[in-house]
Amino acid sequence: MDLVWLRVAAVLYAIASLAAVPAVLYSYPRLRRIWLPAAALAFLFHFVSVVEMLGLAHRWLPVGYGEIESLLGLFIAAIFLLIRLIYGTFSFSVFALPAAFLLVFVPAIGDNRYTFPSPGVRTGWLVIHIGFLLAAYACLAFSMAASFLYLVQERHIKQHFSARAHTSGSRSRTIVQDWLPPLDTLERIAHATLLFGFPCMTLGLFVGSLLAQESVGPAYFFDPKVLLSFAMWALYVALLYIRRSNGWRGRKAAFLSSGVFLVMMLVWAANQFSQVHRFLVP
């Protein structure tokens, strides 16, 4: 029965994540009524599953990747709920709940790895995985470009009036930069591309997890590319949250976008060291 409780917990973690992320990042306060009860119930079923799993095995320590991941997910959920209870903050839900779900997802499948019905179905999921991630990478690149153009346009505006009083060469330089959009437009482009790219990256990583577990099981979580991919996802969440909560724009937003973009480049480079995911060997 421990596997049944774990699967129920995985479903509840998924529901809580789907409600918490939009509630925090996209300002849907009504969804807060969903994610907290779902997260509490998920933790309860998860706790029962872990206790029953260890009790039936007559041991106190986890064995194997699946049990370790399940126990780590339980601790993450417990600490999050404790922080929510003591401090009353829900901001950590965008990190904790998806992390708990991803850690529980593969162990909830069971000892037998999920296999796709046919190579064609697996190829279809692979296309979805790559398509969503490429869309997310493109959105992140456009956001970073818009942030840097924001800096250029901001500097141009500050120097605009003084440049008019200078020589014709300075006026020529000012005219060349007039092709840039207004600051508000650049800021909206940078933010909109981030908002669109985030669900693409989330879905891409989820489908990628399903594909990877078929190859190596729960051990996929310790692959360097997988670790960097989830680090990039966490930075993406941090970027969205900081921009929204602190109102960062301009130079600070450009630095944040550059950091996430750098991790994205590292993820691409990690293909050469990954054992479960190489573009040359799907």
Helix segments in 30-92, DSSP class H: 32-57, 64-87
- Per domain, the residue ranges of the chain are 1-112, 114-282
Q: Other CB atoms closer than 10 Å to residue 36's CB: what's the count?
A: 18
21 token code pair = 């992320």
CB 102 within 8 A of CB 230: yes
Task: Using alpha carbons, list the distances in angstroms from residue 192 to 73, 187, 241, 260.
Answer: 31, 8, 14, 16
- Write down the residue that tokens 């907290």 correspond to: 36
Phi and psi angles of residue 278, each rounded to the nearest 5 degrees, phi first: -135, 135
Q: How far apart are CA 36 and CA 39, in angstroms?
A: 5
* pLDDT tens, N- to C-terminus, the chain (282 residues): 788 999 999 999 999 988 888 887 777 777 778 888 999 999 999 999 999 888 877 777 777 777 888 888 999 999 999 998 998 887 888 888 988 998 888 788 766 555 676 778 778 888 998 899 889 888 888 888 888 888 777 777 777 655 555 554 444 444 445 667 777 888 888 888 888 888 888 888 888 877 777 666 666 666 777 777 888 888 888 778 777 766 666 667 777 777 777 777 777 776 666 656 554 444
Global confidence as pTM: 0.70
Number of residues written out for the chain? 282
* Cα 135 → chain centroid: 14
Q: What is the chain's alpha carbon radius of gyration, rounded to the nearest angstrom?
A: 23
Q: What does the pLDDT read at residue 175?
A: 43
Angular region, 88: left φ>0, alpha ψ -120 to 50, beta rest: left
- CA-nearest of 221, 226, 275, 225 to 71 is 221
CB 106 within 8 A of CB 209: yes
Q: Other CB atoms closer than 10 Å to residue 247's CB: what's the count?
A: 9
User: DSSP label at 215?
Assistant: H
CB 138 within 8 A of CB 194: no
Question: Is the C-alpha dihedral spanning 230, 232, 236, 241 positive or negative?
Answer: positive
156 token code pair = 């141009």
User: If DSSP codes are grouped into helix, strand and coil, which group holds residue 198?
Assistant: helix
CB 81 within 8 A of CB 39: yes
Q: What does the pLDDT read at residue 273?
A: 63
Q: How far apart are CA 24 and CA 43, in angstroms?
A: 20
Q: How far apart are CA 131 and CA 150, in angstroms?
A: 28
Q: What does the pLDDT read at residue 82?
A: 93
